[in-house]
Amino acid sequence: MVEPVTATTAAHAANPEFPHVLGIISELNAENAFGHFIHQWETAIYTLLVIGFLTFFSWMATRRREMSPGKFQSAVELVVSFIDDFVCSVLGPRGREFTPFIGTLFLYILAMNYLGLIPFFKSPTADFSTTAALAIIVFCYVQFTAFKELGWKGYGDHLMGQPRGVMAMTLIMPIFMFFVHVVSELVRPLSLSLRLRSNVYGDDQILALFASWGLKDGFLWLFPNFIFVLLTSTIQAAVFSILTVVYFSLVMKHDEGHH
């Protein structure tokens, strides 16, 4: 008797991946509504798991702050200080108001990337819906900051390339620059989301491929590639955050002398 092919099994056959808790549950309940629900919402559930972990981690880090910090508080303060120094080095002294957003973004993406490296779990960032949502949030915040900093006229002038003199008298170049800048602004969420999703998804597929070779043949390739994926997961979280800082820098007013 031939077993019916469900949407869940077809998806796993087309996209082989490490077995994970929610995937196993959805497979065992493929014929009922519960299994379909788990399959549809597995990315959101893993995302909520990461949010819960980061919330608990933040509570642990701040519940007993001391003037003479221990190792845990010192490590957390070092990470926060590093992120703050980087953001302020790009955006200037006013960059500190963006440090909470950039820092949260970096740690959130990093935790989601790392989750897929834990046995029986999956990276939410391997799903385009997660990375697209993050990119849209960044896009909206950058546009809000642009209008807040420059105003409607100032932002329009910025999009036209700030034409002055003869360049302002000819409408062709400002209109062309306006079109180019608008297109580049709209493309950024797509490029941000695709870059992160594609790299994380590709890393997961490579590890799953080596694991499928078995313990004897696959382990020789799996372990060094696990270290490589650990590094690339960190780099991808950093790249997403760095590009976000750059996008903010392009629409903010800077003091003279600050580069």
The structure tokens 């062709």 sit at 172
The DSSP secondary structure of 122-184, one letter per residue, reads --GGGSHHHHHHHHHHHHHHHHHHHHHHHHHHHHHHHHTT---THHHH-SHHHHHHHHHHHHH
Which tokens sit at 79?
A: 């990470």
Answer whether residue 217 shows pLDDT above 80. no
Partners of residue 120 on adjacent β-strands: 20
| pLDDT tens digits, one per residue of 246-258 | 999 988 865 544 4
- What is residue 20's predicted lDDT score, i.e. its pLDDT? 84
| pLDDT tens digits, one per residue of 24-43 | 888 888 888 888 998 889 99
| pLDDT tens digits, one per residue of 151-167 | 888 888 778 776 665 55
Host H or E run for residue 85: helix 71-91
DSSP code for 93: G
- pTM of the predicted model as reported, rounded to 2 decimal places: 0.84
Confidence of residue 235 (pLDDT cuts 50, 70, 90): very high
| pLDDT tens digits, one per residue of 91-135 | 888 888 999 999 999 999 999 999 988 888 999 999 999 999 999
d(CA 109, CA 145): 22
- The domain segmentation of the chain, as residue ranges, is 55-251
CB 241 within 8 A of CB 106: yes
d(CA 103, CA 245): 11
CA 147 to each of CA 152, 156, 251: distance values in angstroms, whole numbers, following the listed order: 6, 9, 9
Query: Among 5-14, 28-37, 56-65, 121-130, where is mean pLDDT lowest?
Result: 5-14
- What is residue 6's predicted lDDT score, i.e. its pLDDT? 46
Which tokens sit at 102?
A: 């950039």
CB 141 within 8 A of CB 174: no
- What is residue 105's predicted lDDT score, i.e. its pLDDT? 95
